[in-house]
C-alpha cells in the first residue's frame, strides 16, 4: 500500500505540462534527405544542479520513410539555487527550432515568458546553455519548451533508430525504436540526460494507423489527426519518476501474443505481454512460459510492487543492439535472445525493472554495482528454477577461473583495458554470493528489499546498498557486528585477489592462516604487495564432518590463529565451495590427507564445487611456485573415479596450460593424460547412444575426446584417419569436404606425411567459389596441429621461402599465431629464420608488423635453458639487424630467463612423479617424436 500511495503523491506533485497549439506535419509524406551518421558517445560532463527537472511532456512525430522526426518537449523546472542559466543535454545532430522559457513569479497564476538573451551550445560536451534576462531565486517554478527535429539512426540500434526486415513472404517491413542507454536520450531530444535527474514523463507519438506503438506506460488514448487519415497520435499514461535512459519507444508492425498473464507480486498486479512478428509467436509462447518461473522467484523476494501496470517484452526483428534495451515497462530483445531456452538473460532484464528502473545508480561509477547485483540474482533465479542447467550447474566456477587468471597477472587488463569494468562487475557478483552465505540468506534478501523500498523512485550509490545489508545484519545478530562496506571495499578497490595459506601444527591441533596477494604470473614483483589485505570469511570444514565452534570468522589481518583443529589423520578444508573468491594452500600433509580421502571412495565428503576447488587450487598454486607439482599431480589421481562434470571442468584448462611447458617430457605427460581421461571417456562412450544421456555428459565426452586425441589416444587417431581417407579417395576433393572438421587435427598431428600433404594441397587449390572460412579453418588446423618437424619445414619453405602466391600476408599471420601454441613449431621457426636470415629479413623487414610478428612467435614462447640458448644465439648473431623487432627479442630473452628458472625447478619433479606413476601402473610410453 505504501508503494501505491507514494507514487500517487508524486504524480499529483508533477506540474502538468502543455502541448503546443499547432502541430507540425506528420510522418507519412516522403522527403529526400541525407541521413545523419552515427555519433560515438560523448564524454560525460555532469550538469550543475542549480535547475532541476520535475516533469517532461514529450511528443515525437517520426517521418519513417525519411528516417527523420520532429518533436516537442516541455520540461517542468525547479530552481534549486539562484541562477539565470539553464543547462541541459542535447547532441549536435538534434536541431532545436524554437525555445521559450516561462516562470511563475510573485505567486502569479499565469507564467511569465522570459527573454533568452544568450544561447551557448557546446558540441563537445553535448550541452546547451540558455541564459535568461533575470536572476531567478531558489524555489522558482518554471517550464522550458522546445521544438526540434532530428534524423534516425539507420546503421546502428542506438538512440532513435529505424531498421527493416523481410517477412516470410519476402515483404519489407519497417521498425522504429529507441535504445537510450547509457546516454543516448540527448541524441533524441533536449533533456537532463543523467540518471540522477528522475522525473515523470508524459509521452505521445504519431504512428501509422496500421502499426503498433509501445512505450513505458500503457496507452491512455488514441486520437485521429486532421488531414492525416493514415496516422494517429497515441498518448501514453504518465510514468513514475524515471531517468532518461529508461525511456523507451517501439513503433512496428508486430502482434501481441494471444494470451497474457497477470502476476501477483504481493501488492499489485502487473500484466506481462509479449510482442513480435507473426512468424515468431511459438518462440514467444515459450518465453512467456519461462517468465512465469522468473516472476515466481521474484515473488519469493517480497520486493515492493512496481509502479507500472504492464511490462511489454518485444522480440524486435533486426534489432542490432549488443544487449537488450531494458526500458522501464518495455524491454526490447533481438529475436535470437528470446529463442534460447535459458533463464538468465530474461531474468536479468526483468530484474532491471527494479534494479535500474525503480532504483537507479546515481552515476555511472556505481553502474557496475547494479549490474553485479542483477547478475547474481539472475543466476540465483536460474538455480532456483532448474539448477542452472543452462550453465551445466558450473557457476560460479565458470567465472571464477577467468578471474583467477586475470587477477594473478603482474599487470591485470594490460592487453584488454576495456574488460576491466566487466571483470570488476563479475568480482562484485561473487561478493554478493559471499554475502548471501556469510550474512545469511534471510539477511541478504531483507537487506536488498530494504534497499529497494528506501530508494524507490530515487537513485543510489554503493554505500547505501552496503548500509542496508549492514542494518539488516545488525537486527539479526545483535552485538556481533560487522561493517559490510569495509569488507566490500577491501575486495572492490583492488584489481587483485588474495591467497590463503594454512599451515597446521598437528601436535597442538592448531593452524596458522596467512593471507597475501595471489600471483600466478612470474616474477612475483608487484609493488606494495605486502600492504594488500582483504576481509576474508574463514569457513572451515573437516574431514570427519564435524564443525568448528565458529563457522564464520572474518580475517582482516595478515595472520589468523585457528584453534581446535582435528587430529593429524583428518584433513581440514578452508573456503569450501569457493564462498570467497580466493585460492587456498595447505601444508603438504593436509594436501595428502585430502588427496587420499578423495581417492578412497570418499568423494561424497566434499561437494563437487569443493572437489573442483582443491583440484584447481593445487595445479595453479604449483604453477605459481607455491606448491610442489608432485603434490598437485597427486591431487589428480581421484579423477579416475570422478563422475561429476563440474569437477572435470578445470582439468582441461590445466592440461592445456601445463602441456606448453613440458615439451621435453611430453610423451610421458601424454601417457599420464591418456590413463587419467580414458576411464571416464570410455564410460561415456558406452552411453553415447542412450536417450537419457544428459547435455552436460555429451559436452564432457566431447572435451575428453578432444584432449585424448591431442595426447595421441590410438582409437581416436584411427577413427580420424578412417574418416579422413574418405576425403582423400573422393574423385573431386576440392569441391567439398565430405567428413567432419573435427577429424583434421588428430590426422595432422599424428597422421602420415601423405595425409598432411593432402590437406596442404587442398589449401593451395581451394576454389574461390567455396566459403573462404572453410579454407581458414583448414589452414588453422594444418598449422596448429603440428609436432612433426618435417611437416613444419615443408610449410615454412612453401610460405616464407618460396613465397607461394596462394598464401596471403594474412595467412602468414594466421600460421604464426598457430605456431605459438606448439614448441616444435616455434622452435623450428626460429631455426628456419636463423638458417635463412638474409633472405627472410630482406623480404619481410619492410613489412614491420609481419616481421615483428615472426620474431615474436619465433622467440617469445620458450621456457627452458635450451630455448634461452637458441634465442640468445640468434640475437647475438644478428644484433642490431632486427629493426622494429629489436625490443621484442630483448624482452623475450628477459622473460625466458624467468621461465627457465621455473622449468629447472619444476620439470625434474614432474618427470620423477610421471616416471613413478607410469611404472606403478605398468604404462609403457610410446615415443611419437
Chain segment 180-210, per-residue pLDDT in tens = 999 999 999 999 999 999 999 999 999 999 9
The helix/strand count (H/E) of the chain reads as: 27, 30
* pLDDT for 692: 78
Name the band, by pLDDT with cuts 50, 70 and 90, for residue 324.
very high
Which region, left, alpha or beta, applies to residue 385 given φ > 0 means left and ψ of -120 to 50 means alpha? Answer: alpha
Lowest mean pLDDT among 192-201, 408-417, 741-750: 408-417
Is a pLDDT exceeding 80 seen at residue 354? Answer: yes
* pLDDT for 422: 85
Is a pLDDT exceeding 80 seen at residue 417? Answer: no
Q: Angle between the 823-835 and 809-819 helix axes, to the nearest 10 degrees?
A: 130
Summarised one tens digit per residue, pLDDT across range 299-323 is 999 999 999 999 999 999 999 998 9
Most confident of 99-103, 167-171, 272-276, 406-410: 99-103
User: Which DSSP category does 722 fall into?
Assistant: H
Name the band, by pLDDT with cuts 50, 70 and 90, for residue 691.
confident
Mean pLDDT of the chain, nearest integer: 90
Higher-confidence residue of 235 and 37: namely 235
Question: Given the C-alpha cell 573415479, which residue does it identify?
Answer: 641
Question: Given the C-alpha cell 537419457, which residue does it identify?
Answer: 692
Picking from 722, 729, 773, the residue whose alpha carbon sits closest to that of residue 743 is 722
Task: Average the pLDDT over 371-392 and give the result.
Answer: 94
Is a pLDDT exceeding 50 seen at residue 515? Answer: yes
Beta strands in 249-408 (DSSP E): 249-252, 255-256, 261-264, 269-276, 310-316, 325-327, 330-334, 360-361
CA distances from 14 to 17, 142, 240, 834 (A): 9, 12, 10, 78
Picking from 474, 383, 366, 371, the residue whose alpha carbon sits closest to that of residue 426 is 371
Question: Given the C-alpha cell 584433513, which residue does it identify?
Answer: 571
Question: Given the C-alpha cell 523476494, which residue does it identify?
Answer: 301
Name, in order, each residue with C-beta under 8 angstroms of 738's C-beta and a sequence gap of 6 or more.
726, 727, 730
* pLDDT for 27: 40
Q: What angle do CA 325, 328, 331 make, to 5 degrees?
A: 35
Q: Which helix (H) or strand (E) holds 344?
A: helix 344-351
Name the band, by pLDDT with cuts 50, 70 and 90, for residue 33.
very low
Q: Which helix (H) or strand (E) holds 144?
A: strand 141-151
**CB-based burial label for 59 (10 Å; 0-12, 13-18, 19+):** buried
Name, in order, each residue with C-beta under 8 angstroms of 316's C-beta and a sequence gap of 6 or more.
175, 177, 250, 252, 254, 276, 332, 333, 334, 335
User: Which DSSP category does 191 fall into?
Assistant: B
Higher-confidence residue of 684 and 169: namely 684
Picking from 250, 228, 236, 251, the residue whose alpha carbon sits closest to that of residue 24 is 228
How many whole angstroms separate alpha carbon 879 and alpha carbon 822? 26
Summarised one tens digit per residue, pLDDT across range 721-745 is 999 999 999 999 999 889 999 999 9
How many whole angstroms separate alpha carbon 717 and alpha carbon 742? 11
Question: Given the C-alpha cell 565451495, which residue does it identify?
Answer: 577
Higher-confidence residue of 477 and 40: namely 477
Is a pLDDT exceeding 50 seen at residue 4? Answer: no
Lowest mean pLDDT among 101-115, 256-270, 638-652: 256-270
Phi, psi of 804 (to 5 degrees): -55, 125
Neighbours of 159 (CB within 10 A): 24
How many whole angstroms separate alpha carbon 844 and alpha carbon 780? 22
How many whole angstroms separate alpha carbon 216 and alpha carbon 219? 9
Name the band, by pLDDT with cuts 50, 70 and 90, for residue 21.
very low
Task: Average the pLDDT over 686-713 and give the result.
Answer: 89
Name the band, by pLDDT with cuts 50, 70 and 90, for residue 44.
low
Q: Angle between the 809-819 and 848-859 helix axes, to the nearest 10 degrees?
A: 20
Picking from 849, 853, 848, the residue whose alpha carbon sits closest to that of residue 889 is 853
Specify whether the CB–CB gap between 175 and 163 falls below 8 A.
Answer: yes
How many whole angstroms separate alpha carbon 186 and alpha carbon 192? 8
Lowest mean pLDDT among 154-168, 341-355, 915-929: 915-929
Is a pLDDT exceeding 80 seen at residue 3? Answer: no
Name, in order, each residue with C-beta under 8 angstroms of 889's C-beta and a sequence gap of 6 or more.
855, 859, 871, 874, 875, 882
Task: Average the pLDDT over 643-664 and give the result.
Answer: 91
Helix (H, G, I), strand (E, B) or coil at 512: strand
Name the band, by pLDDT with cuts 50, 70 and 90, for residue 689.
confident
Centroid of chain to Cα 224:
46
How many whole angstroms separate alpha carbon 892 and alpha carbon 895? 5
Neighbours of 805 (CB within 10 A): 7
**CB-based burial label for 310 (10 Å; 0-12, 13-18, 19+):** buried
Cell reading at 776? 581458414
Task: Average the pLDDT over 324-347 and give the result.
Answer: 93
Summarised one tens digit per residue, pLDDT across range 585-614 is 999 999 999 999 999 866 678 899 999 999
User: If you write DSSP's letter for every residue of 18-50 in order, what string do you get?
Assistant: ---SS----SSS----PPPPP-PPPPP-PPPSS
Is a pLDDT exceeding 60 seen at residue 928? Answer: no
Question: Given the C-alpha cell 546553455, which residue does it identify?
Answer: 129
Summarised one tens digit per residue, pLDDT across range 243-283 is 999 999 999 999 998 666 655 544 457 889 999 998 889 88
Is a pLDDT exceeding 90 seen at residue 344? Answer: yes
Question: Given the C-alpha cell 590437406, which residue does it identify?
Answer: 759
Task: Average the pLDDT over 558-574 and give the result.
Answer: 94
- Give the torsion through C-alpha atoms of 874, 875, 880, 881, to 10 deg: 30
Cα-trace Rg, the chain: 33
Name the band, by pLDDT with cuts 50, 70 and 90, for residue 9.
very low
User: Residues of the chain with pLDDT > 70: what percent?
Assistant: 92
Question: Given the C-alpha cell 525555445, which residue does it identify?
Answer: 99
Q: What is the pTM of this model?
A: 0.88
- Give the torsion through C-alpha atoms of 370, 372, 376, 382, to 10 deg: 80
Amino acid at each position: 500500500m505504501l508503494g501505491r500511495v507514494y507514487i500517487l503523491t508524486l504524480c499529483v506533485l508533477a506540474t502538468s505540462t502543455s502541448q503546443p497549439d499547432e502541430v507540425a506535419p506528420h510522418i507519412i509524406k516522403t522527403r529526400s534527405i541525407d541521413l545523419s551518421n552515427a555519433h560515438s558517445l560523448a564524454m560525460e560532463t555532469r550538469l550543475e544542479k542549480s535547475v532541476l527537472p520535475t516533469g517532461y511532456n514529450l511528443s515525437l512525430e517520426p517521418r519513417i520513410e525519411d528516417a527523420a522526426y520532429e518533436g516537442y518537449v516541455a520540461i517542468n523546472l525547479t530552481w534549486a539555487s539562484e541562477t539565470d542559466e539553464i543547462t541541459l543535454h542535447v547532441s549536435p545532430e538534434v536541431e532545436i527550432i524554437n525555445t521559450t522559457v516561462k516562470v511563475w513569479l510573485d505567486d502569479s497564476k499565469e507564467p511569465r515568458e522570459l527573454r533568452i538573451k544568450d544561447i551557448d551550445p557546446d558540441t563537445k560536451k553535448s550541452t546547451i546553455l540558455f541564459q535568461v534576462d533575470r536572476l531567478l531565486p531558489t524555489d522558482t517554478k518554471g517550464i522550458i519548451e522546445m521544438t526540434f527535429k532530428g534524423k534516425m539512426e539507420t546503421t546502428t540500434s542506438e538512440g532513435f533508430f529505424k531498421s527493416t526486415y523481410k517477412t516470410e513472404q519476402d515483404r519489407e517491413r519497417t521498425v522504429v525504436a529507441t535504445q537510450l542507454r547509457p546516454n543516448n536520450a540527448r541524441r533524441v531530444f533536449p533533456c537532463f540526460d543523467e540518471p540522477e535527474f528522475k522525473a515523470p514523463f508524459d509521452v505521445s507519438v504519431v504512428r501509422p494507423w496500421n502499426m503498433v506503438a509501445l512505450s513505458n506506460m500503457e496507452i491512455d488514448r488514441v486520437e485521429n489527426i486532421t488531414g492525416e487519415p493514415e496516422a494517429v497520435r497515441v498518448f501514453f499514461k504518465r510514468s513514475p519518476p524515471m531517468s532518461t535512459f529508461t525511456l523507451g519507444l517501439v513503433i512496428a508492425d508486430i502482434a501481441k501474443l494471444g494470451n497474457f498473464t497477470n502476476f501477483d507480486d504481493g501488492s499489485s498486479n502487473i500484466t506481462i505481454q509479449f510482442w513480435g512478428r507473426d512468424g515468431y509467436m511459438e518462440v514467444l509462447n515459450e518465453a512467456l512460459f519461462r517468465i512465469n518461473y522468473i516472476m515466481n522467484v521474484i515473488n519469493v523476494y517480497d520486493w515492493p510492487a512496481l509502479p507500472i501496470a504492464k511490462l511489454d517484452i518485444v522480440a524486435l526483428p533486426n534489432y542490432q543492439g549488443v544487449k537488450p534495451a531494458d526500458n522501464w515497462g518495455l524491454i526490447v530483445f533481438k529475436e535470437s535472445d528470446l529463442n534460447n531456452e535459458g533463464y538468465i538473460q530474461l531474468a536479468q532484464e526483468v530484474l532491471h525493472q527494479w534494479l535500474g528502473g525503480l532504483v537507479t545508480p546515481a552515476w555511472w561509477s556505481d553502474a557496475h554495482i547494479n549490474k553485479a547485483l542483477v547478475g547474481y540474482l539472475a543466476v540465483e533465479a536460474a538455480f532456483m528454477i532448474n539448477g542452472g542447467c543452462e550453465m551445466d550447474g558450473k557457476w560460479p566456477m565458470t567465472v571464477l577461473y577467468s578471474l583467477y587468471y586475470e587477477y594473478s597477472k603482474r599487470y591485470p587488463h594490460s592487453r584488454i583495458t576495456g574488460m576491466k569494468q566487466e571483470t570488476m562487475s563479475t568480482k562484485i557478483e561473487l561478493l554478493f554470493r559471499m554475502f548471501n552465505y556469510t550474512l545469511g540468506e534471510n539477511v541478504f534478501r531483507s537487506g536488498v528489499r530494504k534497499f529497494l523500498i528506501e530508494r524507490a523512485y530515487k537513485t543510489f550509490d554503493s554505500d547505501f546498498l552496503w548500509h542496508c545489508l549492514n542494518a539488516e545484519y545488525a537486527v539479526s545478530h545483535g552485538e556481533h557486528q560487522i561493517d559490510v562496506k569495509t569488507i566490500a571495499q577491501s575486495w572492490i578497490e583492488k584489481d587483485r585477489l588474495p591467497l590463503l595459506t594454512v599451515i597446521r601444527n598437528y601436535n597442538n591441533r592448531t593452524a596458522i592462516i596467512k593471507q597475501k596477494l595471489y600471483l600466478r604470473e612470474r616474477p612475483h614483483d608487484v609493488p606494495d604487495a605486502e600492504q594488500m589485505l582483504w576481509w576474508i570469511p574463514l569457513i572451515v570444514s573437516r574431514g570427519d564432518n564435524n564443525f568448528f565452534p565458529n563457522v564464520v570468522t572474518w580475517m582482516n589481518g595478515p595472520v589468523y590463529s585457528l584453534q581446535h583443529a582435528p587430529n593429524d589423520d583428518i584433513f581440514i578444508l578452508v573456503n569450501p565451495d569457493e564462498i570467497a573468491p580466493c585460492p587456498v594452500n595447505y601444508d603438504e600433509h593436509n594436501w595428502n590427507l585430502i588427496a587420499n580421502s578423495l581417492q578412497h571412495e570418499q568423494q561424497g565428503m566434499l561437494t563437487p564445487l569443493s572437489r573442483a576447488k582443491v583440484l584447481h587450487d593445487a595445479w595453479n598454486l604449483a604453477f605459481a611456485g607455491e606448491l610442489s607439482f608432485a603434490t598437485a599431480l597427486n591431487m589428480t589421481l581421484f579423477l579416475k573415479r570422478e563422475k561429476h562434470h563440474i569437477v572435470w571442468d578445470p582439468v582441461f584448462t590445466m592440461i592445456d596450460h601445463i602441456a606448453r611447458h613440458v615439451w621435453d617430457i611430453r610423451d610421458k605427460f601424454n601417457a599420464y593424460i591418456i590413463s587419467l581421461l580414458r576411464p571416464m571417456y570410455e564410460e561415456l562412450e558406452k552411453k553415447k547412444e542412450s536417450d537419457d544421456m544428459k547435455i552436460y555428459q555429451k559436452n564432457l565426452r566431447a572435451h575428453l575426446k578432444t584432449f585424448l586425441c591431442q595426447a595421441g589416444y590410438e582409437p581416436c587417431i584411427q577413427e580420424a584417419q578412417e574418416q579422413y581417407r574418405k576425403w582423400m579417395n573422393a574423385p573431386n576433393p576440392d569441391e567439398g569436404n565430405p567428413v567432419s572438421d573435427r577429424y583434421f587435427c588428430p590426422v595432422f598431428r599424428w597422421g602420415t606425411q601423405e595425409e598432411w600433404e593432402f590437406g596442404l594441397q587442398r589449401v593451395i587449390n581451394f576454389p574461390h567459389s567455396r566459403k573462404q572460412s572453410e579454407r581458414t579453418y583448414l589452414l588453422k588446423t594444418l598449422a596448429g596441429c603440428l609436432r612433426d618437424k618435417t611437416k613444419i619445414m615443408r610449410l615454412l619453405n612453401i610460405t616464407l621461402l618460396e613465397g607461394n602466391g596462394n598464401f596471403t600476408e594474412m595467412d602468414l599471420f594466421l600460421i604464426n599465431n598457430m605456431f605459438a601454441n606448439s614448441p616444435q613449431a616455434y622452435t623450428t621457426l626460429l631455426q628456419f629464420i636463423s638458417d635463412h636470415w638474409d633472405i627472410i629479413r630482406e623480404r619481410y623487414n619492410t613489412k614491420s608488423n609481419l616481421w615483428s610478428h615472426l620474431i615474436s612467435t619465433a622467440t617469445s614462447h620458450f621456457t627452458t635453458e635450451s630455448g634461452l640458448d637458441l634465442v640468445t644465439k640468434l640475437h647475438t648473431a644478428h644484433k642490431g639487424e632486427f629493426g622494429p623487432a629489436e625490443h621484442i627479442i630483448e624482452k623475450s630473452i628477459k622473460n625466458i630467463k624467468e621461465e627457465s628458472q621455473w622449468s629447472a625447478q619444476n620439470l625434474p619433479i614432474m618427470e620423477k612423479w610421471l616416471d613413478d606413476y607410469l611404472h606403478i601402473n605398468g604404462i609403457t610410453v610410446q615415443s611419437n617424436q
